[in-house]
């Protein structure tokens, strides 16, 4: 299986390279020489070295839809807590069939407020697909066959709060109301304060000849703990803040923490078991909007959610008790796609949430798979590997990267500040846009590589063809018609959990234009073994069409020389063939 899988993956990549190279125009066009793999003269000008706020997202999605009305349609799938539209782009070739009947992938980003670059990965995917259609054969054929439902941010309120309000690189998660963590009845008095007004919550230190820290000799912005038997030059005071309630503690109240990735209706647990859970599954308007949309789209066979950080391609289950829901057949599909992701995105690791990280109850990954039978990944974007293209890491990497590649732009230099409680202190450290989010010059590369992974994922949603229709004369005006339906992609039309729990209706293989006397599934063609379907034999119900495999059906018919065989699959689409 593994040898076959890598042969298939290699063939896919090689074919993609050839199809792309055949369409590249090695000539000057409007003052530019095209670079391979990048739209050289896009209709929609977009920049991929910065982050879009809500206004920018709204404008860019609108421009893409207006520039490519036959390829992209913008709709709102619902409203956020504060009333913002949750924008979605449907990307497909609308002239080649109903996009809601084609095998589809759903993509979203930014479920957590500070995990911002998932939005750019999603936007880049919509932009690249529309700009490449007609120029890149592979993309053209992909959009003829498939549909992409792309929601750049499912948490627009929290994204805007993260960008416009003082925060660290890791706060807040949801953007809802603050929490009284110290139990004094006040919920917002001791959150981090942006004392120096630079828009980021950085760190505080104070000179102290008996301190336990000193400045790093090469990177003086870095604080180094001294040995227990030595004194340093500084004491570390923590994140910027003031003890507003005079209880002797600073920054003990967190900014609002209801985690949208603990709000999904699969193995949901209340807050005292799974921290971050809200009132009940889908109690947040943003996750409910996604749920409503997905429930109405049974053609969604694949899904991708973007988070940060750590450089991981994650699949479920989120908790060990759900391991039985992911059986061997489905895991083989997950492994084939996930292992390809490791090749496409250097430095990323393909992992299982509960086994390699921590427990997640009520997570998006498990809901998509467990409730809808959708093969779903969550990519944790950005890893320190990307700084120097190396897994050899040291404590000074971030400081060295900031010095030699960002020229100090990610760091707030230590600056004196007269603190009302601590007196003379210094404030400094990394800004909120560094540490978890991609630096600008690496953002487009990250977007392209992650997009390539989702394209590979989408490519391997079911691809059905009717390979063969053959006849045998039985005499007495009767004929035996045999049809072979092939799925030439890795993903089955029904995941195993789907088959076991009857999530989706069975695939229907029907014959029209002839009188059907009997219908059956052929279980062994060589030995002529069949299973007859006595009820409505003209439309044979097939529980599943496995990936990289075929299903054979047979009818006994009378009359009808010009009949049509049709396959109707929720996740595999509709295909027909006339005899």
498 — pLDDT class (breaks 50, 70, 90): very high
Whether cis (ω within 30° of 0) applies to the bond prior to 328 is: no
* Within this chain, domains 2-161+258-382+439-457 and 464-578 share the same CATH topology: no
Task: Grade residue 184 by pLDDT with cuts at 50, 70 and 90.
Answer: low
Question: Phi/psi at 320 (nearest 5 deg)?
Answer: -60, -30
- State yes or no: pLDDT of 16 exceeds 80: no
3-state secondary structure of 72: strand
Other Cβ atoms closer than 10 A to 473: 9
pLDDT (mean) for 422-441: 96
Dist. CA 107–CA 305, nearest whole Å: 6
Strands 72-79, 549-558: pairing is unpaired
> Quick check: helix, strand or coil at residue 530?
strand
Its pTM stands at 0.93
Question: Helix or strand or coil: residue 551?
Answer: strand
The rounded radius of gyration (Å) of the Cα atoms in the chain is 28
Mean pLDDT along residues 466-489? 97
Distance, in Å, from the CA atom of 69 to the CA atom of 95, rounded to the nearest integer, reads 10
**Dihedral over alpha carbons 413, 418, 423, 428 (to 10 degrees):** -20
Share of residues in the chain with pLDDT > 90 (%)? 82
Contacts of 46 (CB under 8 A, 6+ apart): 60, 123, 124, 127
Q: How confident is the model at residue 182 (pLDDT cuts 50, 70, 90)?
A: low
Q: Interior CA angle at 568 toward 481 and 89, to 5°?
A: 155
Q: What pLDDT is stored for residue 25 in this prediction?
A: 46
- The pLDDT assigned to 175 comes to 53
3-state SS class at 267: coil
For range 409-415, the mean pLDDT:
96
Q: What pLDDT is stored for residue 180 in this prediction? A: 55
Q: At the topology level of CATH, where does 464-578 sit?
A: Immunoglobulin-like (2.60.40)
Residue 99 DSSP class: G
- Domain ranges, ordered by start, for the chain: 2-161+258-382+439-457, 177-255+386-430, 464-578
pLDDT of amino acid 310: 95
Summarised one tens digit per residue, pLDDT across range 227-262 is 999 999 999 999 998 887 777 777 765 655 689 999
85-144 pLDDT tens trace:
999 999 999 999 999 999 999 999 999 999 999 999 999 999 999 999 999 999 999 999
Peptide bond into 172 cis (omega under 30): yes
Instruction: Indicate the fold that domain 2-161+258-382+439-457 takes in CATH.
Output: Aminopeptidase (3.40.630)
């Amino acid at each position: 299986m593994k040898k076959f899988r890598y042969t298939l993956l290699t063939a896919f990549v090689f074919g993609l390279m050839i199809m792309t190279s055949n369409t590249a125009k090695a000539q000057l066009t409007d003052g530019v020489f095209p670079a391979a793999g990048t739209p050289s003269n896009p209709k929609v000008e977009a920049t991929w070295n910065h982050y879009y706020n809500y206004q920018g997202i709204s404008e860019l999605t609108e421009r893409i839809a207006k520039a490519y009305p036959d390829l992209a349609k913008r709709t709102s799938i619902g409203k956020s807590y504060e009333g913002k539209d949750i924008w979605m782009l449907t990307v497909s070739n609308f002239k080649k069939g109903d996009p809601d009947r084609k095998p589809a992938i759903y993509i979203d980003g930014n479920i957590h407020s500070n995990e911002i670059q998932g939005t750019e990965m999603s936007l880049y995917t919509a932009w690249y697909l529309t700009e490449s259609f007609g120029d890149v054969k592979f993309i053209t054929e992909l959009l003829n066959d498939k549909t992409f439902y792309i929601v750049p941010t499912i948490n627009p309120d929290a994204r805007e709060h993260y960008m416009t309000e003082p925060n660290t690189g890791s706060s807040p998660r949801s953007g809802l109301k603050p929490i009284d963590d110290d139990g004094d009845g006040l919920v917002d008095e001791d959150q981090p304060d942006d004392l120096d007004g630079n828009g980021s919550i950085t760190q505080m230190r104070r000179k102290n000849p008996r301190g336990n820290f000193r400045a790093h000799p090469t990177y003086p912005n870095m604080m180094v703990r001294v040995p227990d038997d030595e004194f340093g030059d500084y004491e570390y005071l923590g994140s910027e803040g003031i003890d507003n309630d005079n209880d002797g503690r600073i920054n003990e109240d967190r900014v609002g923490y209801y985690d949208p990735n603990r709000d999904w209706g699969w193995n949901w647990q209340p807050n005292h078991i799974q921290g971050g859970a809200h009132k009940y599954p889908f109690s947040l308007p943003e996750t409910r909007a996604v749920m409503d949309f997905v429930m109405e789209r049974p053609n969604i066979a694949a899904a991708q959610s973007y988070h940060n950080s750590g450089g991981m391609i994650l699949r479920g289950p989120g908790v060990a008790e759900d391991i039985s829901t992911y059986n061997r057949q489905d895991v083989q599909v997950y492994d084939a796609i996930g292992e390809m992701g490791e090749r496409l995105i250097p430095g990323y690791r393909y992992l299982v949430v509960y086994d390699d990280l921590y427990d997640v109850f009520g997570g998006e990954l498990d809901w998509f798979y467990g409730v809808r039978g959708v093969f779903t990944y969550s990519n944790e974007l950005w890893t320190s590997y990307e700084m120097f293209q190396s897994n050899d890491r040291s404590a000074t990497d971030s400081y060295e990267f900031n010095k030699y590649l960002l020229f100090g732009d990610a760091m707030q230099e230590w600056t004196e500040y007269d603190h009302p409680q601590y007196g003379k202190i210094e404030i400094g450290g990394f800004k909120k846009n560094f540490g978890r989010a991609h630096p600008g010059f690496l953002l487009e590369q990250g977007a392209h590589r992650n997009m390539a992974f989702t394209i590979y994922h989408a490519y391997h949603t079911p691809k059905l063809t009717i390979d063969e229709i053959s006849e045998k004369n039985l005499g007495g005006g009767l004929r035996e018609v045999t049809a072979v339906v092939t799925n030439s992609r890795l993903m089955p039309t029904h995941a195993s959990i789907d088959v076991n729990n009857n999530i989706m209706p069975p695939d229907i293989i029907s014959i029209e234009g002839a009188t059907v006397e009997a219908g059956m599934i052929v279980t062994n063609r060589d030995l002529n073994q069949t299973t007859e379907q006595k009820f409505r034999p003209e439309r044979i119900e097939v529980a599943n069409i496995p990936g990289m495999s075929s299903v054979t059906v047979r009818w006994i018919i009378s009359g009808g020389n010009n009949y049509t065989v049709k396959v109707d699959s929720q996740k595999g689409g509709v295909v027909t063939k006339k005899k």
